[in-house]
């Protein structure tokens, strides 16, 4: 079957694809010329060669960032000037919206409508929001005796290594860049080898906006090469990492083996979606669940992949959910109406299909989906999948799948629901659905997660912190709290 051509296919054919690093404001090949081939998950088509950064490339980028920090070419600018430049950066991202959205879709397979309406605007808004904060966050004076004055000031930390995943390449980069740059740091960004192209383009736009060379550098490459070199580098003061819990452990190890740099981990999740029988609008809950679960092909850290439903309504709710799921039929990501795109690569496809097989073999009931889709296009597609009759011991309810697969477990009492929801090594996000005000508050308070939603799941804003309890991480992205990650607090005592 050939895919019908859309305007986006035509634009894609003429798109400039450049996978070189950006170091000290310049596009550069890797020092030893190494590259790797990047293919599109949409149809496995070759996109471009990408610089395969090694320790030497990382060293060049870190030293450029160090020099930029030490001569204060960025931190030393008046806050109002830094603000203006960052605002220009955000404007340039918006002005390049179609190009960036197309790059993001080609690179990681998400539907073009969401790259356009979610990813690019969210990345721009993040930079613009932190730009606004630059000249509005004040330092403190401590309440000391008359004999002395104590100033408590925030100072930029220095060189920040940002290592990000492939599922929201631009947004994850922006969540690091916004607060780190606004606070006056320099940044070396290592995008995922699975989706490096928009990060490289962002660095070019930053230079065009007037961010001085060396302040924001991008070194593409693999985790065990460029990522490891960055996390071990002695001139990196902090690592802002988003990715798997497995690699997050390594970040702590790298810091211990090098210079005890700060490590901020934003890691995986297995978010519980808890539905009580007293919630009247079950169709709305099912719609919201499907929308959040299948958004981004289920490749979201906060996907509601553990559904806990009170036994008296479990059958009704599961049927509603199973009826919603097929509305997210996998389609061509370049088609403007597609809701569910391609998984990022064949490895991810195999992982997701492996979980589906494990759910079946462990005795869960697959109500809808469960198969690969669009096999004729050469890309990596899986049907939206709903399991019923799952148990808390199954791999599909314990492990992060990172694909369009969710599983329903029935519970009897409120206490059981709380215990089940908290029975996870993760604690990123959760939601409680109940029309009883006191129950909703009680359960929300008892859930061990960084974000808890009540009777909704999809609200999100740059103004609120995002991060996890337990093995979902130790930091918070977004909001003014993110400044804590990229600033040092200094106390200066002055004798009066």
Q: Mind telling me the catalytic residues? A: 266, 301
296 touches ligand NAD (CB under 6 A): no
Site string for ligand NAD, 451-480 (x = CB under 6 A): -----------------x---xx-------
Q: Is 324 near ligand NAD (CB under 6 A)?
A: no
Q: Using the rule CB under 6 A, which residue among 206, 301, 353, 417 binds ligand NAD?
A: 301
- Residue 275: phi and psi, rounded to 5, are -110, 120
Stretch that binds ligand NAD, among 65-73, 224-232, 415-423, 440-448 (CB under 6 A): 224-232
Please enumerate in sequence order all residues whose Cβ is within 8 A of that of 115, keeping only pairs 6 or more positions apart, or say none: 100, 101, 102, 104, 105
Which member of 163, 263, 325, 373 binds ligand NAD (CB under 6 A)?
163
Question: Which residues within the stretch 108-147 sit at the binding site for ligand NAD (CB under 6 A)?
Answer: none
Q: Cα–Cα distance between 27 and 21 in angstroms, integer?
A: 6
Nearer to ligand NAD, 219 or 309 (CB): 219
Q: Give the angle 110-199-27 at the CA atoms, nearest 5°.
A: 140
- 272 closest CA partner among 420, 97, 445: 420
Please identify which residue in 231, 290, 325, 417 interacts with ligand NAD, judged by CB under 6 A: 231
Q: CB-wise, 25 or 298, nearer to ligand NAD?
A: 298
Q: Which of 165, 184, 214, 304 binds ligand NAD (CB under 6 A)?
A: 165
The sign of the dihedral angle between the CA atoms of 432, 438, 441, 445 is negative
Asked if 131 contacts 182 with a C-beta cutoff of 8 angstroms, the reply is yes
- Closest to ligand NAD by CB, 403 vs 473, is 473
Residue with tokens 């060396």: 214
CB of 465 to ligand NAD, least distance (A): 11
Instruction: Give the nearest distance from C-beta 121 to ligand NAD in angstroms.
Output: 18
d(CA 186, CA 211): 10
Q: Name which of 178 and 473 has its Cβ closer to ligand NAD.
A: 473
Indicate the pairing of strand 306-310 with strand 365-368.
unpaired
Window contacting ligand NAD (CB under 6 A); options: 185-193, 308-316, 355-363, 414-422: 185-193
Asked if 36 and 50 count as a contact pair (C-beta separation under 8 A), the reply is: yes
Task: Rule CB under 6 A: say whether 244 interacts with ligand NAD.
Answer: yes
Least distance from ligand NAD to the Cβ atom of residue 274, Å: 20
| One of 227, 369, 370, 384 touching ligand NAD (CB under 6 A) | 227
Restricted to residues 332-351, the positions that interact with ligand NAD (CB under 6 A) are none
Residue 179 sits in the site that holds ligand NAD (CB under 6 A): no
φ and ψ at residue 314, rounded to 5 degrees: -60, -45
Number of residues that bind ligand NAD (CB under 6 A): 31
Please state the closest distance from residue 167 (CB atom) to ligand NAD, in A. 5
Q: Which of 24, 40, 48, 192 binds ligand NAD (CB under 6 A)?
A: 192
Q: Which residues pair with 451 in a beta bridge?
A: 429
Tell which positions 378-407 bind ligand NAD, by CB under 6 A.
Answer: 400, 402
Can residue 166 be called a binding residue for ligand NAD (CB under 6 A)?
yes
12 part of the interface to ligand NAD, by CB under 6 A: no
In angstroms, what is the minimal distance from the CB of 226 to ligand NAD? 8
String of contacts with ligand NAD for each residue 412-431, x by CB under 6 A: ----------------x---
Residue number with CB closer to ligand NAD (90 or 163): 163
Stretch that binds ligand NAD, among 21-29, 110-118, 145-153, 262-270 (CB under 6 A): 262-270
Least spacing, CB of residue 267 vs ligand NAD, in Å = 5
Sites for ligand NAD among residues 202-221 (CB under 6 A): none
- Give the C-alpha separation, 321 to 76, whole Å: 54
Q: How far is the CB of 396 from ligand NAD (least distance, A)?
A: 16
C-alpha 129/C-alpha 73 separation (Å) is 22
Using CB under 6 A, pick the residue from 82, 92, 125, 250 that binds ligand NAD.
Answer: 250
390 or 482, CB closer to ligand NAD?
482
Contact set with ligand NAD (CB under 6 A): 163-167, 172, 190, 192-193, 222-224, 227-228, 231, 242-244, 247, 250, 266-269, 301, 400, 402, 428, 468, 472-473
């Amino acid at each position: 079957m050939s895919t019908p051509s859309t305007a986006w296919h035509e634009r894609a054919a003429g798109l400039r694809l450049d996978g070189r690093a950006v170091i000290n404001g310049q596009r550069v090949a890797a020092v030893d010329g190494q590259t790797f081939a990047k293919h599109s998950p949409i149809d496995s088509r070759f996109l471009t060669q990408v610089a395969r950064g090694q320790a030497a490339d990382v060293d060049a980028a870190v030293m450029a960032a160090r020099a930029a920090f030490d001569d204060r070419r960025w931190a030393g600018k008046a806050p109002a000037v830094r603000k203006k430049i960052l605002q220009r950066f955000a404007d340039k991202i918006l002005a390049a919206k179609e190009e960036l959205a197309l790059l993001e879709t080609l690179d990681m397979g998400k539907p073009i409508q969401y790259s356009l309406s979610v990813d690019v605007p969210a990345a721009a808004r993040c930079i613009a929001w932190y730009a606004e904060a630059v000249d509005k966050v004040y330092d403190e004076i401590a309440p000391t005796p008359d004999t002395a004055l104590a100033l408590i000031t925030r100072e930029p930390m220095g060189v920040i290594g940002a290592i990000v995943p492939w599922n929201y390449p631009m947004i994850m980069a922006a969540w690091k860049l916004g607060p780190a740059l606004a606070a006056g740091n320099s940044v070396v960004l290592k995008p995922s080898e699975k989706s490096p192209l928009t990060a490289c383009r962002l660095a070019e736009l930053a230079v065009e906006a007037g961010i001085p060379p060396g302040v924001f550098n991008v070194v593409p490459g693999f985790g065990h090469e460029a990522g490891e070199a960055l996390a071990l580098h002695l001139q990196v003061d902090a690592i802002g990492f988003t990715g798997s819990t497995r690699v997050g452990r390594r970040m702590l190890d790298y810091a211990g083996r090098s210079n005890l740099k700060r490590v901020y981990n934003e890691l995986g999740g297995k978010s519980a979606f808890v539905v009580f029988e007293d919630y009247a609008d079950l169709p709305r809950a099912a719609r919201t669940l499907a929308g959040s679960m299948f958004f981004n092909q289920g490749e979201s850290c906060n996907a509601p992949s553990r559904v806990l439903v009170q036994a008296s309504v479990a059958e009704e709710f599961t049927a509603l959910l199973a009826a919603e799921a097929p509305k997210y039929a996998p389609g061509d990501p370049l088609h403007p109406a597609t809701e569910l795109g391609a998984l990022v690569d064949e490895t991810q496809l195999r992982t997701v299909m492996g979980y589906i097989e494990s759910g079946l073999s462990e005795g869960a009931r697959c109500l809808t989906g469960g198969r690969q889709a669009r096999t004729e296009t050469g890309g990596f597609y899986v049907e939206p999948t709903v399991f019923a009759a799952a148990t808390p011991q199954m791999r599909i309810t314990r492990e992060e799948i990172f694909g369009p697969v969710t599983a329903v477990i029935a519970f009897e009492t409120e206490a059981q629901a709380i215990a089940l929801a908290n029975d996870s090594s993760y604690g990123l996000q959760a939601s409680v659905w109940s029309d009883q005000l006191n129950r909703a508050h009680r359960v929300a308070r008892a859930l061990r997660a960084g974000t808890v939603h009540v009777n909704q799941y999809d609200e999100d804003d740059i103004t609120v912190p995002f991060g996890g309890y337990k093995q979902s991480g130790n930091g918070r992205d977004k909001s003014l709290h993110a400044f804590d990650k990229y600033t040092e607090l200094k106390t200066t005592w002055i004798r009066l």
